[in-house]
Amino acid sequence: MPAPTLPLETPAADARQPSAEAIRFEDVSLAFDDKQVLDRISFRLAHGETKALFGVAGSGKSTILKLTLGLMKPDSGRIYVLGQEVTQMSEKDLFTLRGRIGMVFQESALFDSFTVRENVAFRLIEDGNIPEDEIERRVREALSFVELEHTVDMFPSELSGGMRRRVAIARAIITQPEVILYDSPTGGLDPVTSTTIVELIVKQRDVYKTSSLLVTHRLQDAFIMATHYFDRKANKMLPLASGARCEVPITFLILREGKVIFDGDLEELAKSKDEYIREYIS
Amino acid sequence: MAAGDFQVQLISPAEFAKEKLLALQEYALLVGQSLANLFRRPLYVTDMIQQADLIGVGSLPIVILTGGFTGAVLALNSASTLSRFGSLTLIAQLVSVGMVTELGPVITGLMVAGRNASGMASELGSMTVTEQIDAMRALGTDPTKKLVTPRVVATVIMLFFLTIISDLLGLVGGNMVSTLLLGLDSRQYWTSAWQSLVWRDVTTGLIKPVLFGFVISTVGCYFGMSTRGGTQGVGRSTTQAVVVASVLILVVDFFVTKLLIALLGYR
């Protein structure tokens, strides 16, 4: 697939705090009816870091993303996002914080009565203070990043699954968020389209240094992210040289029965002697 | 348990009561938020106008039909009773007062509830199960401001005018039956219909649609936003919205009528 044209954007680094973490979970627990979904989960996501969350279905991965956004409240524990404690924030205050976070939902969650343009521009239109030509420019930029400029007047029902996912990414990145949350961005897609999506995520990671939390069922997606980088000159994703490390740190978090059983980088994951982890990654 | 077996889960009365109380609490919170949003920016006037078009203009054909035929059948039914007492000329008064104070608001409310409460529940329910509501919250927009309040405002305003149209069409239907089938004089019908109405009739007949509109929209939006369980859940919410809205209209009608009689007195 030809590499998408890189829009002239500066990385979001200047919007970040230098050393604070982007996300921190402290002893977070949550139960639905009688099922303990998360049991005293603790982890942190540093600025600029990408963390891939793994676990079997129902292990609480998507729940962690919703808790991060404040869409749900935990039963106990604290969650800090960009230095603010979301567990104590009102819905009104959360709306302001969410302006700095982008989220790509599992089934894209595009508004089906809006065109692609209206979907991608939603946040800008809701702002109310951005001129129409500025909105149009930024929508075109975001859609060119995901290589879907030609779909601007189409409705989500007219798009394929992969295209909807890419539009969802465009919608998430249009405001240059400091943190992006991906909920199974390649779920249900064929391998070729999945690679396209992964390439976009790697590009977003390497070009804009955005902190990311990625929920995925596909181990190979995370491995590709850990062993590839986005080359700005070639404008495409390329494998890292043998022995080389990714410039942007990427770590893995594995959940089992509501608990964190692994939190580390690719090297530590490969060396892990835990039977469940070895079976999971084999 | 074999495949295809059907299992019924029984819940205790305490659990049932808890569920209903929780639902009532959630509904009350939604009602409170939808009203409070009227005093907070942004107001989403464009969405209100869009909804007014869908709810008001969209419901016009059924309101015209039901209003016209309700007035006609009221005239027809009352004719047989009134003629026994030689009071056929009272038909106009009966149709006029009946339509304006009671049948116009209630029948219109029930028709709009069937059409629009279900539409709201299914639209918002579909958005809920496909995470579009969560996406809206994630993008920094309050779904009650963007989706619920415009629908509430539009339904209240439109039902007010739809009821007036329904009342008028009811009188027209009554007039057609009176003149074409019963041989009464048209001018006498309209004069009688007009003169029999007093201000308390009109007040009663116009307060009710405001309340019914509020019930229809809040119930439809509540069931939509609280949908769970995929497409089956959307179907369930749609049905429940219509049933609950319809029943509530009749219940509210009784209490409002009682209250207005107490406040304004009998005719």
What chain A holds in terms of domains, given with CATH numbers, is 1-92+179-282 (3.40.50.300), 113-176 (no CATH)
Number of domains in chain B: 1
In a domain, B144, yes or no: yes
Q: Is A69 part of the contact surface with chain B (CB cutoff 8 Å)?
A: yes
> Cβ of A32 under 8 Å from any chain B Cβ?
no
Give me chain B's average pLDDT, please: 93
Which stretches of chain B sit within 8 Å of chain A by CB? 42, 127, 130-132, 134-142
Inside any domain, residue B179: yes
Min Cα separation B154/chain A (Å): 19
Note whether residue B212 is domain-resident.
yes
Residue A2 has pLDDT above 60, yes or no: no
Whether the complex's predicted ipTM is more than 0.95 is answered with: no
Residue the block writes with tokens 């936003």:
B225
Quickly tell me which residue has 């990408």 as its tokens.
A50
Q: A109–B142: do the CB atoms touch at under 8 Å?
A: no
Q: A–B: how many Cβ contacts below 8 A?
A: 51
Distances (CA, A) of A227 to A184, A200, A237, B39: 19, 15, 10, 53
Q: Is residue B178 part of a domain?
A: yes
The Cα–Cα gap between A97 and A89 comes to: 10
Higher pLDDT, A248 or B135: B135
Distance from the A83 Cα atom to the nearest Cα atom in chain B, whole angstroms: 18
Chain A partners of B127 at a C-beta cutoff of 8 Å? Answer: 111
User: Higher confidence at residue A21 or residue B209?
Assistant: B209
B140 found inside a domain: yes
CB contact under 8 A, A110 and B134: no
Backbone angles phi, psi at A262, to 5 degrees: -155, 140
Residue B207 within a domain: yes
- Comparing A9 with A136, the larger pLDDT belongs to A136
Residue B21 lies in a domain: no
Q: Return the residue in B18, B22, B45, B131 with the most chain A beta carbons within 10 A, the one to mutate for interface testing.
A: B131
Instruction: Provide the total of helices (H) and of strands (E) in chain A, helices listed first.
Output: 10, 12
Segment A66-124, tens digit of pLDDT = 999 999 999 999 999 999 999 989 988 898 899 999 999 988 999 999 999 999 999 99
Out of A110, A112, A123, the one facing B140 most closely (by C-beta) is A123
pLDDT at B20 over 70: yes
Mean pLDDT of B104-127: 96
Q: Residue B19 domain-assigned?
A: no
Q: Which residue range is the domain that position B188 belongs to?
A: 42-264
pLDDT at residue A5 is higher than 80: no
Contacts of B25 (CB under 8 A, 6+ apart): none
Q: What mean pLDDT do residues B126-155 have?
A: 95
Residues of B in contact with A101 (CB under 8 A): 138
Residue B46 scores a pLDDT above 70: yes
Backbone angles phi, psi at A81, to 5 degrees: -125, 120
Partner-chain residue, chosen from B134, B140, B141, that has the shortest CB–CB distance to A109 = B134
Q: Shortest Cα distance from B189 to chain A (angstroms)?
A: 49
- Stronger pLDDT, B86 or B158, i.e. the higher one: B158
> Do the chains contact at B139 and A123, CB–CB below 8 Å?
yes
% chain B with pLDDT above 70: 96
Closest by alpha carbon to B32, among B234, B226, B218?
A: B218
Contacts of A122 in chain B (CB under 8 A): 139, 141
Which of these ranges, A42-51, A219-228, B179-188, B194-203, has the smallest mean pLDDT?
Answer: A219-228
Residue B1 pLDDT: 54
**Nearest alpha-carbon partner for A205 in A159, A169, A165:** A169
B252 within 8 A of B215, measured Cβ to Cβ: yes
Q: What is the pLDDT of residue A241?
A: 83
Query: What's the CA dihedral at A134, A139, A144, A145 to 10 degrees?
Result: 100
| Rg (chain A; Cα; Å) | 18
CB A261 within 8 A of CB A43: no
pLDDT in tens, B88-108: 889 999 999 999 999 999 999
pLDDT classification of B266: cutoffs 50, 70, 90: low
pLDDT band at B5 (very low <50, low <70, confident <90, very high): low
